[in-house]
Structure 1
């Protein structure tokens, strides 16, 4: 690790300092105006930036450039072009124009489009996003871009996010001006996504078809030890893991990713990395980079990094906590309650707006975290339930109750915590505890959206959240914009009171894991969308379509295309998992069962030939149970194949997704239970793949 971390940090990023040093003053000012105010970028500025960017990239060893974008696959995409330009005399120069910086033309036909594009309609465009800095990786200049079709439809995750950020800024500024805060001319949402992941030995990973193809184990009995001893969480880092984290920090810091916290998570072989907050757009880019770099660094350490939400049955899966707040361009946090939150009208307005937004669009919040892998994790006593609710803590809840009931809030005195030993320092408690069972929890000066799965892009959830809050702020402004100044304070109070009363059902500070909460949530009329196929139809519900159309986040065609893409992704994922399980059973596990049952049978016959009076009851019972398991798995595998083939003939993607969940996945769970039980009776050396013991405890 370099000792000079400040000089290492961002050394491969085209930072503001580099731009200031490389660009003429007038061009630098024009670019900053575009970044800060969202104004149009002129071609002469783009040409100047392109020259400076190319010179800097070549100085740092880059030979190529690429427009780096985020299609609807959930991953990133890139096409590399060299800087070389032939001069006509057999020589070349290193060249890069403003046109090449601003626009790229990747083939769009093979990316998910949900019917927006026919297969033969290939042209697509990438457009430079100047609000996210370019960087160098693997001797290539990476230029963050948006991705759209020939007709301008958004085919990526960045474009809707940028639209949603702009919508929230517009509506928030209008509300702030209405409240008298006219100094603010723009707001940004900031995000800090905590990234959980597993590290396993690379050789063991490569020996399992399910991990290679699906990212999760489809078969596998639990190890004798799991997470029940509670000794892994925040435990001492093993040398191999510590070395990995050491290199990961360095690689991320070079790319300007503010990796801050690292530690062991709850499950064996599970870990977490958390960054410092950044603007939502940059945070999304950085998180995509983080996931990619995690895997590359793991490979160098002979490890495999698993980002699936539930790679191992019986122990915790991995999530991604999306810490979200709203910051003005004057530097204030609109979700900071201050020392007297009951008197902080601006805070209470924005807090109430978020409460209403989450209640009105809880279904969209759930959908934004809906993936095939996350269905295995949500509501499993390791993550928030699929029911969206909001945790505020005692003080804020009491303040809102006082407003609703028109009673005086006397305030809660700060409590100094005395731990008991005189040598230990005294300090003040926070105004809220942390509720790990809450999907959407207030944690001091931000909200933590805890439902996200570890492998998914955080663009979608932040697009939904920003848009929903923008809509409520728009409603607030329209309702109060004509209120006389001398009546504004009273009108704001009444709006907060009315809104809290109408939407307090979403507030829940208790244990979200209990059956009692499920019953209570149903009484409150809250959504309980347990699976992805059950949740996705809400994406095209009229109120949600209206929301996206009003704020120009999606066109109607883009909305329906995303609905189809998400359904198709679910169906393809379950089909892939089913086919992988079929192969593992037929080619690996069933032959192992038959082979070991045969060995035991031969042993019994040999013993009886020597001593006819031997009963060998336990060995015969073992052979009987393994034979029964073989028959059940063999018949079940044939049925699984037939069900999977049946999916392909279904015309409706919604029907196919529901069938995959209710029939295919259900049968896979049944077969796994039989296989895992049989696995416990077979010696490890006879098994065709590494066991949980080897996967979780070999690093």
Structure 2
């Protein structure tokens, strides 16, 4: 056994227990490190607080005097809690967050200062962040701007101010700003539609609950795997004899080390106002899940990014590493991030919650049907929003939804839509209560949770929300949520226009609504699927229906820059054509770099770790075979093993050499999309599986004492 693996295993198996004490009832410390509305109300003058509240609720601008007052209050609050610095906390197109810390202390005056100008705007160097060609390296200026709708918080000794990030020339360079624009778009579109039924509604806000799956491994075992350190996933590793096939890990007793880690990071998350509520074991060994309660989508997105950071930092104190990669271990379930999405009116109505009221159910059906229609019309764009090198390993792997976009609604709601489509006669009963019977008497009585759940569906209705299950575990949810809110906004606008046309032709308003819904139900029926998304039959059926099955990221990303996509992004004021094209350049470049890194790691491990180990062990066997022959004892079985090892060594050396040459060729390609496809097809597609197969076979042949890499069975069963 190599020193690194041996030392790592010894440390992992002799960890002292870390006991985590609760700081009290959650209600006593929840949000204590958050400068939210309650703290603002205590510290701001009433007129200033009203302006800030109005900015948060209605999106009005904050003037510099108000910003100065907020900055002064935030500084006073933060410094009394031990903060010494502040930072604009933003989400560039790297997939993670970024921050530049500045001190409150002013050396000239000898006191702590923080002005409204520093709160509202900061200037980080934009030259080293991805811009997709919008900015050259020598054009360094960029701006971060305060987002008052997401509360400031103290992280360590730093006051963190959630912000958007834009270039000097005004183009969006982050994930947060497009989401905020898409939220505005769906708010405007949904409010206009709701007002066909209820004039009291003046705003509609998307809500999000983001379930986060993750793996946990010992820190030293992690550090002994260069592929995990460099790429976030294991490029080699034979499946252990026992993996997840017994189904005994899911919802099982939480291992003590993990339980203490969970308690610790949950405490820190709750202090930061992240409403984590659920913890449990997931399907694969060493896989777990944490889930929060629902929040405003912008805050929920920020909180998910912050939660991942908190988990990673707290894990260090427990000598653990958290893995968010979509597929860190081959042969085991991957890691997703289930996005539970709904639309809530300012009067507190969940537009996706069925009711016993016929009138309210018609409103429910309007949003229900339009969401399905939006997914049907823009399935390719929704697929593109979850595309990544990591998620390519997970989608369609019979553990996660397929790459084919479809919608599951359950048998009861299927019958409701079928009846409405076929039998749309409407009886309007007048009197004190005016309501609608849609074809058959039972339709208005839609009961919450009246159907099963389908975990093989990428986009499923689950009673009072839609669950977008195909989002990757490491992904910033802002991108898919931007697309989802955008396409629903676009669809609702088209619906409103069609209803107005029907009314213009003389149809009564409710009849006009039903007529358009019937058309939409028929038009979008192909996207609805109630069966097993893992089955080969569904792949064939989806092809018959004309549904796309784009299995790799480089080609999936094409959907962002079609004329149709550009049109709705621009029409709804979310992203310009220039910004869309720049983002696709960044996404393709990111894919290239991820596959390039994995290829280099494979080559390094194979050449410097695997092959030398296999050759040394082969030499031992040759000595053994010669000894047996000298004693007149048959050495046929030993020779067979030697030949197998020799064959695998030859395969590895040949394929790695060819892969390196292919990589050199591909690196000369100038077009980013073409290069990304070449990395997908000609580097990853041709060589990764062949090299891995040979290495994993050697793992079974080479003496366990000699094998250089920590094995799956050693990493995945932490107690």
TM-score in terms of structure 1 length? 0.96
Q: Secondary structure at the match of 1:686?
A: coil
Q: Is the 8 A contact 2:356 2:445 kept in 1?
A: no
Q: Secondary structure at the match of 1:697?
A: coil
**What corresponds to 1:690 in structure 2?**
710
Q: Is the 8 A contact 1:161 1:281 kept in 2?
A: yes
1:413 positional shift: 11
Does structure 1 residue 441 correspond to structure 2 residue 472? no
Does structure 1 residue 126 correspond to structure 2 residue 144? yes
| Gapped regions of structure 2 (runs ≥ 5) | 1-21, 425-438
**What corresponds to 1:325 in structure 2?**
342
Q: Secondary structure at the match of 1:143?
A: strand
Q: Is the 8 A contact 1:341 1:347 kept in 2?
A: no
Measured in 2, the distance between the counterparts of 1:59 and 1:614 equals 82
Q: Is the 8 A contact 2:603 2:656 kept in 1?
A: yes
Q: Is the 8 A contact 1:221 1:691 kept in 2?
A: yes
Q: Is the 8 A contact 1:403 1:497 kept in 2?
A: yes
Structure 1 runs of 4+ with >6 Å offset? 412-415
RMSD: 1.5
**What corresponds to 1:569 in structure 2?**
590
Structure 2 matches for 1:635-654, cutoff 5 A? 635-654=654-673
**What corresponds to 1:461 in structure 2?**
480
Measured in 1, the distance between the counterparts of 2:396 and 2:713 equals 26
Q: Is the 8 A contact 1:684 1:691 kept in 2?
A: no
Does structure 1 residue 409 correspond to structure 2 residue 427? no
**What corresponds to 2:14 in structure 1?**
none
Measured in 2, the distance between the counterparts of 1:668 and 1:481 equals 56
* Cα offsets for 1:580-622 (capped at 9, x unmatched): 100000111111101111111112223333x1x1112111111
Measured in 1, the distance between the counterparts of 2:485 and 2:453 equals 23
1:514 positional shift: 1.1
User: For 2:560, which of 536, 539, 543 is the aligned residue?
Assistant: 539
- Greater shift after overlay, 210-219 or 680-689? 680-689
Measured in 2, the distance between the counterparts of 1:238 and 1:503 equals 46
* Cα offsets for 1:308-334 (capped at 9, x unmatched): 000001111110100000001111101
User: For 1:618, which of 637, 661, 667 is the aligned residue?
Assistant: 637
**What corresponds to 1:592 in structure 2?**
613
1:180 positional shift: 3.1
* Cα offsets for 1:99-139 (capped at 9, x unmatched): 00000000000000001101110000000000000000110
Q: Is the 8 A contact 1:167 1:470 kept in 2?
A: yes
Q: Is the alpha carbon distance of 1:472 and 1:676 closer, same or farther for their aligned partners in structure 2, counting shifts above 3 Å?
A: same
Measured in 2, the distance between the counterparts of 1:642 and 1:288 equals 38
1:654 positional shift: 1.2
Does structure 1 residue 160 correspond to structure 2 residue 181? no
Measured in 2, the distance between the counterparts of 1:414 and 1:156 equals 44
Q: Is the 8 A contact 2:384 2:558 kept in 1?
A: no
User: For 1:314, which of 319, 331, 334 is the aligned residue?
Assistant: 331
**What corresponds to 1:71 in structure 2?**
92
**What corresponds to 1:422 in structure 2?**
none
Measured in 1, the distance between the counterparts of 2:518 and 2:310 equals 48
Measured in 1, the distance between the counterparts of 2:580 and 2:136 equals 17
1:481 positional shift: 3.1
Does structure 1 residue 176 correspond to structure 2 residue 194? yes
Q: Is the 8 A contact 2:628 2:634 kept in 1?
A: no
1:343 positional shift: 6.6
Q: Secondary structure at the match of 2:127?
A: coil
Measured in 1, the distance between the counterparts of 2:539 and 2:628 equals 58
Measured in 1, the distance between the counterparts of 2:27 and 2:181 equals 33
**What corresponds to 1:676 in structure 2?**
696
**What corresponds to 2:436 in structure 1?**
none
**What corresponds to 1:418 in structure 2?**
none
Q: Secondary structure at the match of 2:111?
A: strand
| Gapped regions of structure 1 (runs ≥ 5) | 416-427
**What corresponds to 2:107 in structure 1?**
86
- Greater shift after overlay, 483-492 or 295-304? 483-492
**What corresponds to 1:213 in structure 2?**
230
Structure 2 matches for 1:244-643, cutoff 5 A? 244-339=261-356, 344-406=361-423, 408-411=439-442, 430-481=449-500, 483=503, 487-609=508-630, 611=631, 613-643=632-662
1:294 positional shift: 1.1
Aligned residues: 681
Measured in 1, the distance between the counterparts of 2:693 and 2:193 equals 56
Q: Is the 8 A contact 2:361 2:444 kept in 1?
A: no
1:340 positional shift: 5.4
